[in-house]
Amino acid sequence: MGYAISRQRQRGKVLLTIAVAANLLLLGVFKYSNFFIATANSLAGESLALTDIVLPLGISFYTFTQIAFLVDTSRGIAREYNFVHYLLFVTYFPHLIAGPVLHHKQMMPQFASPAIYKINAHDVAAGLTIFTIGLAKKVLLADSFSAYASPVFAGAEHGVHLHFFAAWIGALAYTIQLYFDFSGYSDMAIGLSLLFGVRLPINFNSPYKADSIIDFWRRWHMTLSQFLKDYLYIPLGGNRHGKLRMYVNLMATMVLGGLWHGANWTFVLWGTLHGFYLLVNHAWRALAKKMGFAAGDGRSMMGGIVTFLAVVVAWVIFRSSSIHAAFSMLGDMLHWPGGYHVDPAAIKLAAVQSREFFAPFDLGVKRFAMLMASAACILWLLPNTQEYMNGGHRLRWTPTRINALLWGLVFALCVTKMASVSEFLYFQF
C-alpha cells in the first residue's frame, strides 16, 4: 500500500485515507468495541451484550508505526520500500509489548545495514547491562511498590474509606511503580535489541526531574509524545494559527493521547487533565515572558515539586478503575487529619489507621519509607540509564570484568525474586 501511495499522486490521498482508516478501524474494533457499547448502554439505557474480543498483543504500537510509515510515504519522506525490511520494522519483537513507538527513519536504515548482521562484542556487553538494569527496575523496584499501590486502589474501587496517609502511600507507590515498570520494559527492549546490533530510540529521560509539565512530556514516553506531535498536533495546525487554535489543538492531542492508553473514561479524563496542565503551563510562560522574568528554566525546585504533585494527582485518575473511584481516592488524599489546623492527636490516629490498613497485607509503613528513600535517590540523585551507559555522568559504565560481575550478580538477584508472575503495566495498552 505504501508503494502504491508513493507512485500514484492523483489517487495517493485516497489510498492513504483508506489505509489509515483500515488501521484505525482494526484498532477501534479490538480495543474500543466494549467501551463504545458500554457508553451507549449507559446513555440509552440499553443492555447490549459486550464482546469477547481479545486484544492482540502490541496492536496500539504497531498501528502507530504503520500509520507513520503510510503518512510519510504520501509526503515523500519514506523512501525505503523493501518489503522484508518493512515487515521486520513493523513486527520487530522487542518493542511490540510496551514500546517504544518505532519510526521507520530510525529503524529501516539499520535493517538495510550489513553491520547489524555481525556480532559486536561491545554491543552485546552493553545490551546485557541495559537489559539487566531494566529487569532490576521491574523486579526489585516496580513490583515492590506494586504491593502498596494495589490494595489502596482496590480499596477505593470497592468504596473503602482510605485514611490520609494510606491514600498518599498508594498514590506515591503507583507513581514510582509505573515509572520503574514502564522505563524498565523500555530498557529491557533497548538492551535486547542491542544484542542484535539494532538501536532503539530512548523513551525516558528522568521525567520526574521535570520542572514543568511541558518539560515532563519531553521526558516521559518520548516516542509517543513525538508521534502525537508529528502526526496529530502539527497536522491539526500546531501553533501556526494563533494562541486559541494552539490551545484547542493541544487539548485535542492530549485527550486522544489519553484515549490511546485504554478504553475507559478515566484515560480520557487523565488526558484532559494533562491537556489542562499544558494550557496553564503555556499561558504562564507567555505571561512570564510578557512581564520580563523567566518561567521554567530547568532549575526551579518549586516548579519541580508542583509538577511532581500534579503528575501524582493525574496518575491516581489513570490507575483508578472508574472516575468515581478516582475522585473518592483524591478526596481521601485531601482530607488532612484535624481539618485546617495541625492536630497532633488526629495525625497520630491517622497514622495508626494507615498502619492498620496495610497490616493484613503484611506491609509495613516503615518499609515503604525505606523504599521511597531508595527510589528518591535513584530518581533524583543517580544518573538515568542512558547517562550511565553513555558517559554523561561521573558514575558511568565501562565494559570491564568488575562491571560484568556486578551486573551478573544483580541479574541473579532478579531471577531469585521472580517467584510469582508479574506483568508489565503497559501490556494492557
Q: Which are the catalytic amino acids?
A: 261
Residue 321: CB atoms within 10 Å: 14
Amino acid at 395: L
- Retrieve residue 401's grid coordinates: 570484568
Q: 100: cis peptide before it, omega within 30°?
A: yes
The candidate with the shortest Cα–Cα distance to 142, out of 427, 428, 424, is: 424
Residue 52: CB atoms within 10 Å: 6
- Retrieve residue 382's grid coordinates: 543517580
- Identify the three-state secondary structure at position 395: coil
What lies within 8 Å, CB to CB, of 146 at 6+ separation is 173, 177, 181, 422
- d(C-alpha 35, C-alpha 54), whole Å: 14
The candidate with the shortest Cα–Cα distance to 62, out of 111, 28, 35, 97, is: 97
Supply the DSSP symbol for 158.
T
DSSP string of 36-77?
Answer: HHHHHHHHHT--PPPP-PPPPTTHHHHHHHHHHHHHHHHHT-
- d(C-alpha 1, C-alpha 365), whole Å: 57
Are 162 and 230 in contact by the 8 Å Cβ rule? The answer is no
Are 281 and 299 in contact by the 8 Å Cβ rule? The answer is no
Hey, CA dihedral for 316, 298, 203, 414, is it positive or negative? negative
